[in-house]
Structure 1
Amino acid sequence: MDTKELDAGNGGSKIGGFGSRMALLIGTNIAVIALFTVVASILGVNPQGLVGLTIFSALFGFGGAFVSLLLSKKMALRATGAVVIEHPSNDAERWLVDMVTRLSREAGIETPDIAIFNSPSPNAFATGAKRNDALVAVSLGLLETMTADEVEAVIAHEIAHVANGDMVTMTLLQGVINTFVILIARILANVIISVLFRDRGGRFVYFGIVMALQVLLGFFGSMIVMWFSRRREFRADRDSGTLTSNASMISALQALQRQHTDDVLPDEVAAFGIRASKATGVRKLFASHPPLEDRIAALRG
């Protein structure tokens, strides 16, 4: 793979909108929780007990999500065996570092850590808790089976995820879903115990109902998270077209269509890979990526 010359660029960001989307998401979530608290109070639920339960739910709901985010880079490197390029050792690595540096500058972020993992499947992913302290990793299969323009489009797609703050936004959304699952499960469990068992259900029955409701509500909550995940893939494709070209991104997606190797990314980073899900029917609702043909059609449209 030939080394490309660096583009001087203008130093400005070609993509963005992260701050406004973050503020909108946080503001909406606060408003929903406040409205839920008011409605519950009107219906006769103890406001003090509800506030305490909401705080408890938020701590547990957001706690796990943010711990995973903070550890995401280390977990991703360990799960995939990816090796960070500290000093390029050959022309291909130098080309990759130069290209990621240029795309990052054009996207308005600092250059992320760049890693390569040993997999025959063409794939790439981005992760990290901060826009300016992220990780972008590519597989050997991607570098060996795609053209330079296609690899660049895939990397631009991952850079777009970082620039758009998708890792943080996904964490916030997952935290909100977790919070409401924990909160609503306990409220409904209390109602069920009081109505059906006249408060004689006992602690074990209560926790059994809570666990069952959390599984059920979490099932539906994951559909919301995956819906958002699919939408951000379209946005990252579009931003990749801005950083490179729509033709290059379409060509990269078509190259993925021609591949028959299985997607081997571990669960820790699968949602941020480039490969599309092969789910069909109802399982599409739980897929983190839209079908490749839909993404290609969106870019052409």
Structure 2
Amino acid sequence: MLSVMFLLGVVYAAAILILVRMLGRAWPIGVAVIVAFAAFQVLTSGRLAVRTMGAREVTAAEEPELHALVDRLCALGGMDKPTIAVAESKVPNACALGRSKGSATLCVTRGLLETLEPNELEGVIAHELSHVAHGDAAVMTVAAFVGVLAGLVARIGLRLVYIGGRARGLWHIIVVALGFIALSAATWFVSLVLTRSLSRYREFAADRSAAQLTGNPAALASALTKVSAKVSGGGGIPQVDLRKAGALNAFYFAPVSAAKTTAHHLLSTHPTTQARLDRLLRMSSQL
């Protein structure tokens, strides 16, 4: 993870340096826009994700068993209890959102509560609490920031090419726009590969932390098998629920769309289910 973060830092520093050189005297405006966009993304990403998921905060009176489980695991892990929310979705899954440990929200779907046995649910909740304890949502938001910005710059560049192509004598706009598009596309792709790699490592780390906290890697493996099978196979889940879930694929316990080839795996947010199961099996034998 440290190696990937170092490479991301090198890529981002190079991209920003080239962007400043290309902007010339206007570079302070460009830097101000980058800082403003970064602040907006960090401050709003958690709330937007919860809204996208369609989750609502639930009290201990509404979901007593879920709250009791989270209370016990937080006590075992020595951490503050996050806000708990439930999404009325048939897709069995869970995710941890928020820019900091103090503002974290643990979201589970109704499908997850109905699908898993208590010890399996405990493993999934422990996995998500590990993400909260390690600030994974904030780390991934920051890591993906320049990649997201590069994608937006590429779209603006394409718009400038369109405008320059329709107007006469604006060939210089097209040249500049093509330069921005090339820089942005290269930054976006390298950033995507590195951030997805970082995401996969952090999923392994969360699995390991959950197995250590509960002392039951087998239950987590069983939950992973059930959730992956139901999500990837449909399991009677409405397509509209699957499409909505796909928007938050990177945050979920198990991905809604899994990698099918080696090339897809390089761009996957999660390790393969088999790779995660193999590690949990090794932990189970060690314990």
Does the alignment reach a TM-score above 0.5? yes
Aligned residue pairs total 257
1:254 counterpart residue number: 225
Larger radius of gyration: 1
- Contact 2:127 2:209 (8 Å CA) reproduced: yes
From 46, 69, 75, give the equivalent of 2:48: 75
Write out aligned runs for 1:86-101 (5 A): 86-89=59-62, 93-101=63-71
Write out aligned runs for 1:1-301 (5 A): 29=9, 33=13, 53=27, 59-61=32-34, 63-89=36-62, 93-177=63-147, 202-244=172-214, 245-259=216-230, 260-261=233-234, 263-266=242-245, 269-276=248-255, 277-281=257-261, 282-301=263-282
Distance 2:138 2:26 in 1: 26
Distance 1:52 1:156 in 2: 48
- Contact 2:94 2:107 (8 Å CA) reproduced: yes
Distance 1:179 1:79 in 2: 21
- Secondary structure of the residue aligned to 1:132 is helix
- Secondary structure of the residue aligned to 2:95 is strand
* 1:189-222 CA distance string (max 9 Å, x none): xxxxxxxxxxx95133212331243134312321
- 1:62 deviates by 5.5
Give percent identity, aligned residues only: 29
- 1:78 deviates by 1.8
2:166 counterpart residue number: none
Distance 1:180 1:50 in 2: 18
TM-score normalized with structure 1 length: 0.71
- Contact 1:62 1:179 (8 Å CA) reproduced: no
- Contact 2:12 2:146 (8 Å CA) reproduced: no
In structure 2, the CA distance between the partners of 1:32 and 1:222, relative to structure 1 (3 Å rule), is closer
- Contact 1:80 1:117 (8 Å CA) reproduced: yes
> 258-267 or 105-114: which moved more?
258-267
Runs of 4+ that moved beyond 4 A:
24-28, 46-53, 55-63, 176-183, 262-265
Distance 1:280 1:61 in 2: 35
- Contact 2:120 2:222 (8 Å CA) reproduced: yes
- Secondary structure of the residue aligned to 1:129 is coil
- Contact 2:150 2:188 (8 Å CA) reproduced: no
- 1:258 deviates by 3.3
- Contact 1:65 1:171 (8 Å CA) reproduced: no
Distance 1:127 1:216 in 2: 29
Residue 120 of structure 1 aligns with an amino acid whose one-letter code is K
- Secondary structure of the residue aligned to 2:86 is strand
1 or 2, which has the higher helix percentage?
2
- Secondary structure of the residue aligned to 2:270 is coil
* 1:163-188 CA distance string (max 9 Å, x none): 011111112212355678899xxxxx
In structure 2, the CA distance between the partners of 1:179 and 1:116, relative to structure 1 (3 Å rule), is closer
Distance 2:97 2:141 in 1: 11
In structure 2, the CA distance between the partners of 1:163 and 1:238, relative to structure 1 (3 Å rule), is same
TM-score normalized with structure 2 length: 0.74
- Contact 2:96 2:132 (8 Å CA) reproduced: yes
In structure 2, the CA distance between the partners of 1:239 and 1:59, relative to structure 1 (3 Å rule), is farther
Distance 2:125 2:69 in 1: 9
* 1:251-274 CA distance string (max 9 Å, x none): 111222432226455455321101
In structure 2, the CA distance between the partners of 1:258 and 1:176, relative to structure 1 (3 Å rule), is closer
